[in-house]
Structure 1
Amino acid sequence: MIFHSEHDLKFAFAIALKENNPDFQIRLERPVDIEMVDRNNKKSVVRAPIDILIIDKDGNTIPIELKYKTKKANINLDGENYLLAEHSATDSGRFSFRKDIYRIENYKSKYSNCKVGYVFILTNDEAYSKNNVFQKDNIDKYFSFHHGGLINRLDKSWNYESLDETKYTFDKNDNTWNNIQSKKHWSCNKEYFYKLDLLQEYVVDWKEYSKIGDSVFKYCLIKVDMQ
């Protein structure tokens, strides 16, 4: 099975949940308030949607965040053509995956009727599952979630030691890196500047989802069930 986009995946996921659990109520893009903290310890409440929110017959909620990261591919399956986008930007993709875990933990801590939540990613880009960027001097070194890896509880931030200090300088006033035009490095802006300390650690386990022609799709599922 394959999907055109993240929205296509989300819709199919919701349908499968409902078919297998008729008592469930399913909400897509349910907006919730999440408390975020930036790297200057400034707190803010951000209103953002949970991709899928399940409400069971007892009123308990199960939040699910989904990611669908693809490499460019042109695939024909059962007479339907799938033109998959080239998402690249695996550095921001790794950060966003950790942010989803943070958001599910935050939601669970806030709502007593939530006992468990999930973060799910499906991709045909082996850079996520195979590349242990923790062993490399990449900017996203500390956000690696390769197979068998450990997602640490404490956020070690971006690996700014990898920046060229002849091109970037550190501003002690707001803890940001700026280039020679005093423009902030992209990781010091907006959502990429959040501090994402978690409540627990997670072991990463990637599994094969499907193989279609030369494209191999793998998934990783993180269960958030800390007490």
Structure 2
Amino acid sequence: MNKSDIDSNRLIDIKYVLSKLSKTRQIFVSEADFQLELAWAIKTIYPNAIVRLEYCPYFDLNMHIDILVIINNKWIPIELKYKTKKCQKTIDNEVFNLKNHGAKDISCYLYLKDLERIESFKKKSVCFSEGYAIFVTNEMSYTKPPKKDNCVYSQFSLHDGNIKSGIMDWREGTSDGTKKGCEKPIELSGHYKMEWLPYSEIDNTNTGFFKILINTVK
């Protein structure tokens, strides 16, 4: 992508930013590392932007936004997820030891919770322009439907081509331990298509390919 490819109809073209970032950072140490590098990339491409991390808006002191971008007094909240499969990768003599995050059901729930949080931000902020929920992973099971139709998190599945909207909840009978801290149903007013795209390819092993999911709240 060249700079001429930037979508000028948006305050920030997040796909362009992530495409540029993927050329210099194919992999991240952690979600915090991803957060810092994305914020830096946004500031580099949009030098006039105000960029804040872990932002707590005045209208909800219990809400924390991973990245808030402010351009011309318009607010763009960004929420991130970075979930990995255990592996070790070496890039330019730097060794990355990635953890096995597991808990796919909870991770799917929390990504949709990010979308719900951004929708709440939109309702409460007169400065809202648009928001983004972003998920990067080298665990390809996220992109595929659950193996069992009656699995406890089927309504939260992020598999490719799936559309998320309305009220989503755990299957009846899901144990308290499984959904601890994530008990409440998710309710989305918008419609969001789960469309996984390539992010980076480090090697041809089953842990060397990263995909990215981007959903926009308008």
TM-score range, shorter chain: 0.7 to 0.9
Shift of 1:14: 0.5
Q: Percent identity at matched positions?
A: 32
Match of 2:21 in 1: none
Shift of 1:138: 1.1
Of the three residues 191, 209, 214, the one matched with 1:216 is 209
Contact 1:134 1:144 in 2 (8 A): no
Match of 2:172 in 1: 160
Contact 2:170 2:185 in 1 (8 A): no
Q: What code does the residue aligned with 2:139 have? A: D
Contact 2:165 2:189 in 1 (8 A): no
Shift of 1:209: 0.6
Q: Over residues 166-194 of structure 1, what are the superposed CA-to-partner deviations in whole Å (9 max), with x where a residue is unaligned?
A: xxxxxxxxxxx6xxxxxx4441x43x112
Q: Over residues 36-70 of structure 1, what are the superposed CA-to-partner deviations in whole Å (9 max), with x where a residue is unaligned?
A: xxxxxxxxx771310000011x2111000000000
Match of 1:60 in 2: 74
Q: What code does the residue aligned with 1:17 have? A: I
More strand as a share of residues: 1
Matched, 1:19 2:9: no
Shift of 1:222: 0.3
Contact 1:120 1:219 in 2 (8 A): yes
Match of 2:108 in 1: 94
Q: What code does the residue aligned with 1:51 have? A: D
- Which ranges of 4 or more aligned residues in structure 1 deviate by more than 6 Å? none
Match of 1:41 in 2: none
Contact 1:33 1:47 in 2 (8 A): no
Q: Quick one: distance in 2 between partners of 1:194 and 1:48?
A: 16
Matched, 1:151 2:144: no
Q: Relative to 1, partners in 2 of residues 1:62 and 1:149: Cα closer, same or farther, differing over 3 Å? A: same
Q: Relative to 1, partners in 2 of residues 1:104 and 1:125: Cα closer, same or farther, differing over 3 Å? A: same
Q: Over residues 143-200 of structure 1, what are the superposed CA-to-partner deviations in whole Å (9 max), with x where a residue is unaligned?
A: 0111111112222x10125x5xxxxxxxxxxxxx6xxxxxx4441x43x112321111
Contact 1:50 1:64 in 2 (8 A): yes
Matched, 1:10 2:35: yes
Q: Relative to 1, partners in 2 of residues 1:152 and 1:11: Cα closer, same or farther, differing over 3 Å? A: same
Q: Quick one: distance in 1 between partners of 2:108 and 2:199?
A: 20
Q: What code does the residue aligned with 1:6 have? A: E
Q: Quick one: distance in 2 between partners of 1:48 and 1:33?
A: 9
Contact 1:101 1:119 in 2 (8 A): yes
Contact 1:129 1:145 in 2 (8 A): yes
Contact 1:134 1:141 in 2 (8 A): no
Of the three residues 126, 129, 153, the one matched with 2:143 is 129
Q: Quick one: distance in 1 between partners of 2:42 and 2:134?
A: 14
Of the three residues 60, 63, 66, the one matched with 1:48 is 63
Q: CA RMSD in A?
A: 1.7
Match of 1:139 in 2: 152
Q: Which runs of 5+ in 2 are unaligned?
A: 1-25
